[in-house]
Amino acid sequence: MRYGETGARLEIDLSRGNIEKIDTDPRDTELYLGGQGTAAKILWDRVPPEIDPFSPDNLLIFTAGLLHATPVPGANRVVVNTFTPQTNFMSHSLMGGFFGPEMKHAGYDQIIIRGKAKDLVYLYINNGKVEIRDATHLAGRGATETGDLLKKELHDDKVQVAAIGLAGENRVWMASIEHGHSSAARGVGVIMGDKRLKAIAVRGTRDINIAHPVELFEKCMAMHKKIGGSDGCGDWMAYDEDDSFHHNHFAWGNARTRRKNFWSEELQNRWAKLKYDNMSRQTSCYNCPKNCRNVIKYKDGKRFGYKCYGKDTYHMAAFKELDFSYDILGVAQEYGLDSYSTPQALAFAVELYEAGILTDKDMPGFPKDSGERIWYLLEKTVRREGIGDYLADGVSRAAERIGNGAEAYDHNTTKKFEQLPIKLGKVNPAYFLMIATGEKMSITQIEGSFPQDPMRTLEERQEFVNKWTSPPDDRFKTYFLEWNKRDEMSDQAFCDIVDWNEAMHYIDDSTGLCGFVSSFRGQFGGEVAYNIHNIPEMIELSTGIPMDKQKLWRVFERIRTLVRAINARRGLRRKDERPPEDHWAVRNEEMEQKLLSKYYMFKGFNREGIPTEERLEELGLDFVAKDLIERGILREEDNFTAQELAEAPVNNILRG
Amino acid sequence: MKSGRRKRVIKEIKVDISKCTGCRSCEMACSAFHAMPKYSSINPARARIRVYIDEIRDHFVPIRAGSYTQAECTGRNRYVIGGEEYSVCAFCPASCPSRDYFKDPDSGLPLKCDMCEDIHPLEKPMCVEACKFDALTYSEREEEYYHERDQKTADAGELKIAFEELVKQHGLKKVMESFSQLSKR
């Protein structure tokens, strides 16, 4: 009997209509846990680098986290992975809600989709009964509307649905997969649409067995209490009406304009009233004592949900106010569009129009009002009509296709992916490393454990450190105590901090824990619920797999290194690891490149950012090393010299 | 025991649907508590509480499993609360033939909330313990009630009706035979 997981996966071939249930190898669980870790192993094994994202041989994988459907609170984020056309790399996408736990109760840790259906279909999974069904009657239907229609069609209000909207159907690269008021962004909706898969409806009524029941349950009930009562967990922006942080510090339009004094008390009161006058309630994901989603019903629009910065992106792209976002979010959610990247692509087109690169010939009837313009472009983009066909490929590719100087306006992407619209003064080395080397494509998916800013007085720092239980070891406390200026720390400290930040995300995305109770949240206040010290216990008690922090850290390194190898095999190199050139006004290329080399050495990568043979073997990834060498990707001449290595920061976090 | 006014303790779970966030922690905790052995498996489908969730219409209603019923309702009610229309099934605690609520997924046997009464009684039922939003709150109150005599003697008229029914079903001869066998014991 398997504990904590089902030990089975579902293989769906949409081209042939084939459905199979496959038993999985428990040894892989020890090595990769679940979630992104398991998906990475599958993608490495089964999708060679020559496979185009739009090939039927590309896989779309839904993977439940290892701790989903156990009593562990806050474990509910299902991972969706594939190769996405925007970057040609492994996409990284997550959504909260109920889908992952339901998959496991249906009896599957993973759902792997390959091939392409001839016409629109949906997948119905009801425990052992799995069917590929016609979905042509759902064509053009909204993403959450589809969930509602399927619940009626299947006569089951407990069925959990993940669906695409019109954007996914039209292969818009910014298309998301929507599940109730949760959504999976960053390049997965386009592939679901390409496979002509409108939705997956899953229902499960099977047990998930627990290895150490009484101990685990007691710990989880205590954790419930702790998370529920803690200000250090959850999305504080669900409650805090002061959002000067995003509005005064992030850039508006096409990641261009800072409005440092935008926020005011008058505005805050007016927006808070707008929110509470139209808020249905705040809702939670499965088994989580936080209610981070604001659910809004505005005027005659569709009811929608948002978290955190998700409410700001459209009106900041359009230079409007919150009511503009409330109008558009209900529509954009039904279209199934990522609210992070989409507004940037639309604002990019506005800039091109103002610069005369796009004209009325390209955009007939283009309105004058900045808000109406965003609406105009949204409707074109989701249908791939006219200029929308270009914008539907995201900023980088659109700039390339439009040409005529448009490339210069693609200024906020890294690895061809839209980044958060942040424009700052002096380069911050830790953030340089994170934005440059992150492979989850957004800074929010790598930052998070170590505070963003130093505290002013030693007393404040000491008080913070005294309560701080999450650091892997005491060196992080020393770093924080001695930290005065944001950009001034030793290279060793920067490397350690970036590595710890990254580690927690890789662990969360394999166990299924939410960043708001773990990896993302500790940077704000330090009092986060989960950390490297208590997650091993949750894993061991749930699954029976012996786990400690050293072993879990090793799992992180294995998964992270494998993801790097997957992308390196598809062409990722050092030259791609550049934050947007204007992310900071004052740059220091020499310092940045030196630091990048040091971090590569720290991570066990070579000069090109490719994992070395030694590191791969150390992590049990010999088969990866062999493949990279055979393909000529891992080359001796890219190795750092012995002297460079001797001077590099030492990676000895939890390495004994 | 004689008839008369007596007191008993009523256990109550107050459900505030405006406070429910739809996290379903109550379902998780209930299924864990009622697993055999305790906490050894998780399965919301075995829970004796279910949260009826309709995100589109903003309906979030935790329902505790009540009694089993053989027949489904004749007709249905619809409730309008604060402008929102709810089906009666959203509130109904019955394990009934018209839906798969409150039936063990393997055996199909009805599930019923037992308020987590146990050899070592809990301070409050597990679902309430797991609810961090006070959508479920627990209280006990004393209630006076009228206690009828323990064994009520049927009157002659009722007996006659009962016998007539038996004769209709099995024939007079069989009923006579059985009655005479019984009287010989």
Give the start-to-end residue ranges of the domains of chain A. 8-203, 251-415, 424-588
DSSP annotation of A340: T
| Shortest alpha-carbon distance between residue A369 and chain B (Å) | 31
Indicate whether B150 pLDDT > 80. no
The rounded distance, in Å, linking the Cα atoms of A414 and A581 is: 9
Two structure tokens written together for A10:
């579902």
* pLDDT recorded at residue B99: 84
In the predicted model, what is the mean pLDDT of residues A96-114? 98
Say which amino acid occupies B88: V
CB-CB neighbors (< 8 A) of B98 in chain A: none
Question: Band of the pLDDT at B151, cuts 50, 70, 90?
Answer: low
| Shortest alpha-carbon distance between residue B11 and chain A (Å) | 22
* pLDDT recorded at residue B22: 98
Cross-chain Cβ contact A303/B54 below 8 Å: no
Instruction: For CA atoms A620, A622, A628, A632, give the dihedral sign.
Output: positive
Q: Which of these, B56, B22, B24, lies nearest to B42 by C-alpha position? A: B24
In chain B, the residue whose alpha carbon lies closest to the alpha carbon of A182 is: B55
Domain spans in chain B, listed from the N-terminal domain onward: 7-145, 152-185
Cross-chain CB nearest to B42 (options A98, A148, A210): A210
A194-217 pLDDT, tens digit per residue, is 999 999 999 999 999 999 999 999
The rounded distance, in Å, linking the Cα atoms of A564 and A625 is: 12
* pLDDT recorded at residue A656: 61
| Shortest alpha-carbon distance between residue A295 and chain B (Å) | 9
A138-156 pLDDT, tens digit per residue, is 999 999 999 999 999 999 9
CB-CB neighbors (< 8 A) of B56 in chain A: 144-145, 147-148, 302-303
The rounded distance, in Å, linking the Cα atoms of A645 and A442 is: 29
CB-CB neighbors (< 8 A) of B130 in chain A: 221, 224
Q: Which of these, A353, A311, A347, lies nearest to A328 by C-alpha position? A: A311
Question: Band of the pLDDT at A569, cuts 50, 70, 90?
Answer: very high
In the predicted model, what is the mean pLDDT of residues A54-65? 98
CB-CB neighbors (< 8 A) of B41 in chain A: 207-210, 213
Cross-chain Cβ contact B45/A205 below 8 Å: yes
Cite the DSSP H helix spans in A289-393.
313-318, 322-335, 341-354, 370-383, 388-391
Q: Which of these, A431, A492, A476, lies nearest to A651 by C-alpha position? A: A492
Residues facing A197 on adjacent strands: A121
Question: Band of the pLDDT at B153, cuts 50, 70, 90?
Answer: low
- Is A12 strand, coil or helix? strand
In the predicted model, what is the mean pLDDT of residues A88-104? 97
- In contact, A568 and A621? CB cutoff 8 Å: no
In terms of DSSP bridges, do strands A110-114 and A8-13 run parallel, antiparallel, or are they unpaired? parallel
In the predicted model, what is the mean pLDDT of residues A22-42? 98
In the predicted model, what is the mean pLDDT of residues A562-577? 98
Q: Which of these, A324, A323, A374, lies nearest to A353 by C-alpha position? A: A374
CB-CB neighbors (< 8 A) of B52 in chain A: 157
Q: Which of these, A156, A6, A190, A178, lies nearest to A85 by C-alpha position? A: A190
CATH (one of 3.60.9.10, 3.40.50.920, 3.30.460.80, 3.20.20.540) for A8-203: 3.60.9.10
Cross-chain CB nearest to B38 (options A204, A213, A305): A213
CB-CB neighbors (< 8 A) of B128 in chain A: none
Buried b or exposed e, range A395-408, using 16+ CB within 10 angstroms: bbbbbeebeeebee
Cross-chain Cβ contact A210/B37 below 8 Å: no
CB-CB neighbors (< 8 A) of B22 in chain A: 283-284
In chain B, the residue whose alpha carbon lies closest to the alpha carbon of A204 is: B45
A298-327 pLDDT, tens digit per residue, is 999 999 999 989 999 999 999 999 999 999
The rounded distance, in Å, linking the Cα atoms of A186 and A420 is: 13
What ranges make up the beta strands (E) of chain B? 4-15, 41-42, 49-54, 59-64, 78-81, 84-87, 136-147
Distances (CA, A) of A322 to A94, A251, A325, A597, B152: 26, 16, 5, 43, 70
Q: Which of these, A542, A580, A448, lies nearest to A72 by C-alpha position? A: A542
Cross-chain CB nearest to B58 (options A205, A221, A295): A295
A272-306 pLDDT, tens digit per residue, is 999 999 999 999 999 999 999 999 999 999 999 99
In the predicted model, what is the mean pLDDT of residues A163-188? 97
Cross-chain Cβ contact A206/B43 below 8 Å: yes
Q: What is the CA B137 to chain-centroid distance, rounded?
A: 18
Cite the DSSP H helix spans in A116-202.
143-153, 166-169, 189-194
CATH of domain A251-415: 1.10.569.10
Residue found by looking up tokens 């870790």 in the block? A37
* pLDDT recorded at residue B1: 63
Cross-chain CB nearest to A289 (options B35, B55, B132): B132
CB-CB neighbors (< 8 A) of A105 in chain B: 43-45
Indicate whether B161 pLDDT > 90. no
A212-268 pLDDT, tens digit per residue, is 999 999 999 999 999 999 988 998 888 889 999 999 999 999 999 999 999 999 999
List Cβ neighbours of A352 (8 Å cut-off, separation of 6 or more): A358, A402, A406, A409
A402-460 pLDDT, tens digit per residue, is 999 999 999 999 999 999 999 999 999 999 999 999 999 999 999 999 999 999 999 99
Indicate whether A372 pLDDT > 90. yes
Two structure tokens written together for A34:
């679940």
| Shortest alpha-carbon distance between residue A514 and chain B (Å) | 14
In the predicted model, what is the mean pLDDT of residues B93-117? 92
DSSP of A283-298: E--TT-S---EEEE--
A473-516 pLDDT, tens digit per residue, is 999 999 999 999 999 999 999 999 999 999 999 999 999 999 99
Per cent of chain B over pLDDT 70 is 95
Beta sheet of A182-184, edge-to-edge order? A129-134, A121-126, A197-203, A160-163, A177-179, A182-184
| Shortest alpha-carbon distance between residue A308 and chain B (Å) | 17
Cross-chain Cβ contact A287/B25 below 8 Å: yes
Two structure tokens written together for A595:
């630091």
Cross-chain Cβ contact B58/A69 below 8 Å: no
* pLDDT recorded at residue A141: 98
Per cent of chain A over pLDDT 70 is 100
Q: What is the CA A372 to chain-centroid distance, rounded?
A: 30
| Shortest alpha-carbon distance between residue B22 and chain A (Å) | 6
Cross-chain Cβ contact A224/B25 below 8 Å: yes
* pLDDT recorded at residue B98: 85
Per cent of chain A over pLDDT 90 is 98
Say which amino acid occupies A207: D
The rounded distance, in Å, linking the Cα atoms of A64 and A126 is: 16
E strand or H helix at B165: helix B156-170
Cross-chain CB nearest to A71 (options B28, B46, B58): B28
| Shortest alpha-carbon distance between residue A169 and chain B (Å) | 22
- In contact, A237 and A231? CB cutoff 8 Å: no
CB-CB neighbors (< 8 A) of A280 in chain B: 58
- In contact, A342 and A219? CB cutoff 8 Å: no
**How large is the ipTM?**
0.96
Two structure tokens written together for B46:
């075995």
Average pLDDT score, chain A:
97
Question: Band of the pLDDT at B154, cuts 50, 70, 90?
Answer: low
CATH topology of domain A424-588: 1.10.599
- The 3-state secondary structure of A79-126 reads EEECECCCCCCECCEEECCCHHHHHHHHCCCEEEEECCCCCCEEEEEE
Residue found by looking up tokens 């009706």 in the block? B161
Two structure tokens written together for A75:
């474990």
